[in-house]
Amino acid sequence: MDATPSPTENGPVATLVRSKLDPGRPPDFAVERPRLHRRLDEAVRSQPLTLVTAPGGYGKSVLLRQWAATTEPVAWLTLDPRDRDPVRVARHLLGALEPVVPGVGAGARRGGPSPGLGDELVDRLLDHVGRAGRPVVLVLEDVDHIEATSALEQLARLVVEAPPDLHVVVACRADPDLPLARLRSAGRLGELRARDLTFTVDEVGAVITSLSGHSLAVDEADHLQQVTEGWPVAVQLAALSLRGEPDPSDLSRFGPGDRAIVDYLSAEVLARLRPDLRAFLLDVSVLEELRGDLCDAATGRTDSARLLEDLRQDDVFVVPVGSPGSYRLHRLVRELLRLDLLADAPERPALIRRRAAAWCVEHGDLGQAADHLVAAEAWDDLLPLLYDHSRTMWEQGEMESLLPWIEAIPLPIRREHPRLRLTEAAIHLLVGRPEATAAVIAAMEDGGGVTPGEQAVADFLVLGLVEDAPPRPEVLERGSRALALLDETPDEEVPRVIGGTDPLSLRAMIPVFSTKVRLLLGAEGTLDSARQGADMPIEAAPIFQVHGHGTLGLVEAVAHLPGAEASARRSIELAEHQLGVRSPAPATAEVALAIVHRERGELDLAVERLDAAIAHTTRWGRWPLAGLAVVERALVDLAAGRPDDALAHLARGSALTAVPPAPFVDDRHRAVELLARRALGTGDPETPAPTRPPVTAELALVRVGLAVADSDPGRARRLLDEWPTKIDPLGAFERALAEALVERAVGSVADARRRVEALLASTAPARLVGPYVLGGPAVTALLADLGAGRPSGHAAAVVAAVARAGGRRVDLADPLSAREVEVLQLLPTRMTNADIAAELFVSTNTVKTHLKHIYQKLGATDRDEAVRHARDLHLLD
Amino acid sequence: MPLHYEIVLRGPLGPRQARVVDDFEVVSTTPEATTIVGWVADQSSLQGTLRRLADVGLDLVALRELPGP
């Protein structure tokens, strides 16, 4: 159910996209305005942001197109109402910049987790533009359409942090929500406003001559300028009205600043148009974008392309928008025409919209089709479109658009269609608004009359809320009920919601969601449930396989099982091959892999995975997993001997969301906090007694370990008796380690040793040292009993890991010689043995002998491991 | 709770421009300004009306909420 970008490279959709990225030729009739070109040139030379802002009819579009044609190179993007979806804005922005900043879009589709115009993409743009080595001018037209969207917030960052070579020109009708006052006072804002864009007397004369062929006397031009106040659209309409009737005195009926002038003049000019052109203009005033084929379909004509061409050559009514044959109506004129059409033929706009929608569906532009149907209030046509194509819309990144379409449908109509309500609930779930999902489903269930198939989907969605919010135990029953309903009523129709709720998919995903519920609640049977979840039919969609294997990997990682890495990697590889990077689906596997890395002492690799997972999950509102990832990040800090950083990360995790932490995450949080505070000596948050019993074995182990370290075997034993769950594969390791600690504390040294030897045998093959860290400082003493003298090999690595987490150094049983330390210092450099020999003025064989001793003393089998252990022991930085 | 508003626009209105606010009552028209009064459902409805007036080229001079009926 996550997104797979499926770019449409050709066809009308691509043409419409190209027309957004190409200013096209300025209209032939347009008068050059060199004074404004100079202002723009100067503004982009000295300021990062230039605002061109004025109401309709001030000639912003024409001016910028003329200027862009003389300025090289310019990246151009015309925004439209559908760009409220930041995914679209991001895609178009990269497309616009690519010709000017080659390589800026390369790999963006597979490079990062950004589902839209996020920080990451802005960083990338700033970086690429900064390195382009030449000025880059980015023109954003009609920014009003993205007012109050996250895309505009990110554009603000782009402008505020712009490198010296980036200049953004923003054209809009109302001042956008950018930090204008701040930029203005810092001298970083260039502005062209309505008063700058009005025509001067000379320009009025030039426009009249260009459009009507007549020359005005200076006083006539002066009068017209006063009457219109230089308002460009009024001057142009006046010029057109003068074509047939060259008497400028006719304009004397208007007073200065009379805004009705455009109403009268446009009516006059329209009345004098050829009847076919007039009828055509009235019809297409409904449409935002005009193309011959689309207009033919919408109006029922066959000559639209020719009419558009006639209008372009002749008049100010249509404005070319980039690719040949694409136009839009002059906005102000369009509004007036629409009012005319509505008065003449009230039913016609909806009819034209419905026909245009049908054309858009046929040509693959589903988003545009839905917009037309919403505008036409054609709900009966909209519903099947939403059902049939919601999956595709989702995959095309139209996610943010889906909800407004549904919410545009009046509530009584929505209530009559359970499938629509379920779709609405599913979208809320997918975009991380769990309370909205729950509310929609509750309303639907309260309404009654829910069929078994609908109930199964509703149960599935409620269970799926585990992705967004901590679960309650009751939801497990919903999962069982959904599976039972599917089994008991096999012939029942199951509504398809976003293409992902067929019986096969429900059967595949219910065990996966149930596994997460169990894990987050610390319930029993998690591993069995996870295995069942990953063992889904081969026909199940790739996205489900990604979830299934990722969840199994996470459970295996928590249980320190050897299969964890393979399961997690399988999930991540599937996601890379089958899904787009915008999908948050592999984040579960990322966290699983991070746990595996941390437990092997590969802390850098763990951080890398966790940072990716945190970015993915927070952006998509996957709070339980985000919470776990942040706590894991803190655990990495702790393992690296940085308990203060660990506490800082924990604080960050708590501040992440208002959603309360799931019990499993909260337990790990407490576990890390206890150990970090112990290492820092900043007081024990659980003195005198724990505030609540543990849900997970991890927290129980930490408490036992600290009691043993405090030489309080009585408390340790009591804590062991209050162990949270029965012995399950999850928590078995922690239970055994806790028992060993207690046994040693009460003097059963031989029992403790046997138990520890078994544990070491289980963790040695994968070289896991992480699981012991939660045992705390008491583990060191426990391992010291093994064999004569100090521990070596895997046991030594465990001791070092535990000591490092406690912020202490450990001395080697057999310290390195001075020469060996010198060799050790060179190991992280990737120098060859021969290089090292040359550096130290010894033979290669001598180096090999030193290496052999170093490996022995550090309990390492190769160079990488020696470096890692040496770092654990603080012998290397 | 509908809201009662007075809107003052610059200059007279053209016939089509007037249609944008045909549920308002025109209380005065001078060469300088047109004053209309009417009811809107809420703030969103008011903002929408103001935007449509701007879309047909009209300038806003004044706006005030009137006491209820």
pLDDT of residue A164: 84
Give DSSP secondary structure letters for chain B.
--EEEEEEEESPPPHHHHHTTTTSEEEEE-SSEEEEEEEESSHHHHHHHHHHHHHTTPPEEEEEEPP--
Task: Give yes or no for a cis peptide into A688 (omega within 30° of 0).
Answer: yes
Distance from C-alpha of B32 to C-alpha of A260, rounded to nearest angstrom: 11
A166 backbone dihedrals φ, ψ, rounded to 5°: -100, 130
Residues of chain A below pLDDT 70: 1-19, 106-117, 244-251, 314-316, 322, 396-400, 580-583, 685, 687-689, 725-727, 787-792, 807-815, 874, 877
Structure tokens at A868: 């890692």
Could A258 and B58 be called an inter-chain contact, meaning their C-beta atoms sit closer than 8 Å? no
Residue B9 touches chain A, beta carbons under 8 Å:
yes
Distance from C-alpha of A584 to C-alpha of A399, rounded to nearest angstrom: 14
Residue B15 touches chain A, beta carbons under 8 Å:
yes
Q: Which residues of B touch A173 (CB under 8 A)?
A: 54
- The helix (run of H) or strand (run of E) holding residue A329 is strand A326-329
Band (pLDDT 50/70/90 cuts) for residue B41 is confident
The number of C-alpha atoms within 13 Å of B61 and in the hemisphere containing its C-beta is 15
Residue B14 touches chain A, beta carbons under 8 Å:
yes
Could B11 and A259 be called an inter-chain contact, meaning their C-beta atoms sit closer than 8 Å? yes
Could B14 and A173 be called an inter-chain contact, meaning their C-beta atoms sit closer than 8 Å? no
Distance from C-alpha of A680 to C-alpha of A288, rounded to nearest angstrom: 64
Indicate the residue type of A86.
P
ipTM of the complex: 0.81
Distance from C-alpha of A524 to C-alpha of A36, rounded to nearest angstrom: 73
Could A263 and B54 be called an inter-chain contact, meaning their C-beta atoms sit closer than 8 Å? no
Q: Which residues of A683-692 are buried (b: 16+ CB within 10 A; e: fewer)?
A: eeebeeebee
Structure tokens at A256: 């200065």
Q: Best interface-test mutation with A: which of B9, B10, B13, B16 has the largest number of A CBs within 10 A?
A: B16
pTM of the model: 0.69
The architecture in CATH of the region A31-195 reads 3-Layer(aba) Sandwich (3.40)
Min Cα separation B11/chain A (Å): 5
**Residue for token pair 């967004």:** A468
Residue A479 touches chain B, beta carbons under 8 Å:
no
Residue A750, C-beta contacts closer than 8 angstroms, at least 6 positions apart: none
Determine the 3-state secondary structure of A153 from DSSP.
helix
Q: Are strands B3-10 and B60-65 parallel, antiparallel or unpaired?
A: antiparallel
pLDDT of residue A133: 80
Show me where the domains of chain B are located.
3-65
Q: Which residues of B touch A331 (CB under 8 A)?
A: 55
- The helix (run of H) or strand (run of E) holding residue A361 is helix A348-362
Q: Counting one residue from A and one from B, how many pairs have CB atoms under 8 Å apart?
A: 64
Average pLDDT over residues B42-49: 89
The number of C-alpha atoms within 13 Å of A648 and in the hemisphere containing its C-beta is 6
Residue A57 touches chain B, beta carbons under 8 Å:
yes
Out of A56, A267, A339, name the one closest to residue B19 (CB). A339
- CATH 3.40.50.300 location in chain A: 31-195
CA nearest to B58 within chain A: A259
CATH class of A811-877: mainly alpha
Q: Best interface-test mutation with A: which of B56, B59, B60 has the largest number of A CBs within 10 A?
A: B56
The number of C-alpha atoms within 13 Å of B54 and in the hemisphere containing its C-beta is 14
Separation in Å, CA A185 to CA A44, A158, A180, A537 = 17, 18, 9, 63
Average pLDDT over residues B57-68: 90
Min Cα separation A406/chain B (Å): 19
Distance from C-alpha of A13 to C-alpha of A31, rounded to nearest angstrom: 32
Q: Which residues of A touch B16 (CB under 8 A)?
A: 263, 267, 336, 339-340
In eight-state DSSP terms, residue A495 is: -
CA nearest to A231 within chain B: B57
Min Cα separation A340/chain B (Å): 7
Structure tokens at A618: 């927070």
Out of A55, A233, A261, name the one closest to residue B54 (CB). A55
Nearest to B51, CA basis, from B7, B14, B1? B7
Out of A231, A255, A260, name the one closest to residue B17 (CB). A260
Could A336 and B17 be called an inter-chain contact, meaning their C-beta atoms sit closer than 8 Å? yes
Residue A407 touches chain B, beta carbons under 8 Å:
no
Rounded to the nearest 5 percent, the helix, strand and coil shares of chain A are 65, 5, 30
- CATH 1.10.10.10 location in chain A: 811-877
C-alpha angle A226-A232-A237 in degrees, rounded to nearest 5: 90
- The answer to whether A31 touches A210, Cβ cutoff 8 Å, is yes
CATH 2.60.40.10 fits B3-65, yes or no: no
From the number of C-beta atoms within 10 Å of its C-beta (0-12, 13-18, 19+), residue A133 rates as exposed
Distance from C-alpha of A158 to C-alpha of A519, rounded to nearest angstrom: 41
CA nearest to A227 within chain B: B11
Min Cα separation A374/chain B (Å): 17
Can you state the angle between helices A150-160 and A119-132, rounded to 10 degrees? Answer: 30
pLDDT of residue A9: 39
CA nearest to B12 within chain A: A260
Nearest to A338, CA basis, from A393, A281, A399? A281
From the number of C-beta atoms within 10 Å of its C-beta (0-12, 13-18, 19+), residue A95 rates as middle
> Could you tell me which residues are beta bridge partners of residue A189?
A49
Q: Which residues of A835-854 are buried (b: 16+ CB within 10 A; e: fewer)?
A: ebbeeeebeeebbeebbeeb
Could B55 and A335 be called an inter-chain contact, meaning their C-beta atoms sit closer than 8 Å? yes
Could A173 and B16 be called an inter-chain contact, meaning their C-beta atoms sit closer than 8 Å? no
CA nearest to A341 within chain B: B16
Residue A258 touches chain B, beta carbons under 8 Å:
yes
Distance from C-alpha of A273 to C-alpha of A276, rounded to nearest angstrom: 8
Structure tokens at A588: 């579960």
Sign of CA dihedral A843, A846, A851, A852: positive
Q: Which residues of A touch B12 (CB under 8 A)?
A: 258, 260
CA nearest to B52 within chain A: A335
Distance from C-alpha of A242 to C-alpha of A22, rounded to nearest angstrom: 33
Q: Which residues of A touch B31 (CB under 8 A)?
A: 255, 258
Could A56 and B16 be called an inter-chain contact, meaning their C-beta atoms sit closer than 8 Å? no
Determine the 3-state secondary structure of A342 from DSSP.
helix
Distance from C-alpha of B24 to C-alpha of B16, rounded to nearest angstrom: 14
pLDDT of residue A791: 56
CA nearest to A233 within chain B: B57
Could B11 and A335 be called an inter-chain contact, meaning their C-beta atoms sit closer than 8 Å? no
Min Cα separation B10/chain A (Å): 7
> Could you tell me which residues are beta bridge partners of residue A192?
A52
pLDDT of residue A12: 44
Structure tokens at A578: 């089958």
Q: Which residues of A549-562 are buried (b: 16+ CB within 10 A; e: fewer)?
A: bbbbbbbbbbbbbe
Min Cα separation B55/chain A (Å): 6
Q: Which residues of A touch B55 (CB under 8 A)?
A: 56, 331-332, 335
pLDDT of residue A679: 86
pLDDT of residue A248: 58
Residues 22-51 of B with CB under 8 A from A: 31
Out of B9, B14, B58, name the one closest to residue A264 (CB). B14
Residues 331-350 of A with CB under 8 A from B: 331-332, 335-336, 339-340, 342-343
Question: Per DSSP, which regions of A175-317 are E strands?
Answer: 189-193, 290-291
Determine the 3-state secondary structure of A580 from DSSP.
coil
Could A339 and B20 be called an inter-chain contact, meaning their C-beta atoms sit closer than 8 Å? yes
Could A339 and B56 be called an inter-chain contact, meaning their C-beta atoms sit closer than 8 Å? yes
Nearest to A406, CA basis, from A432, A426, A392, A435? A426
Could A233 and B57 be called an inter-chain contact, meaning their C-beta atoms sit closer than 8 Å? yes
Instruction: For residue A11, count other CB atoms closer than 10 A to its CB.
Output: 11
pLDDT of residue A167: 92
Using left for φ > 0, alpha for ψ between -120 and 50, and beta otherwise, residue A79 falls in beta
Q: Are strands B33-40 and A166-172 parallel, antiparallel or unpaired?
A: unpaired
In eight-state DSSP terms, residue A255 is: P
Residue B56 touches chain A, beta carbons under 8 Å:
yes
CA nearest to B32 within chain A: A258
Nearest to A785, CA basis, from A799, A806, A800? A799
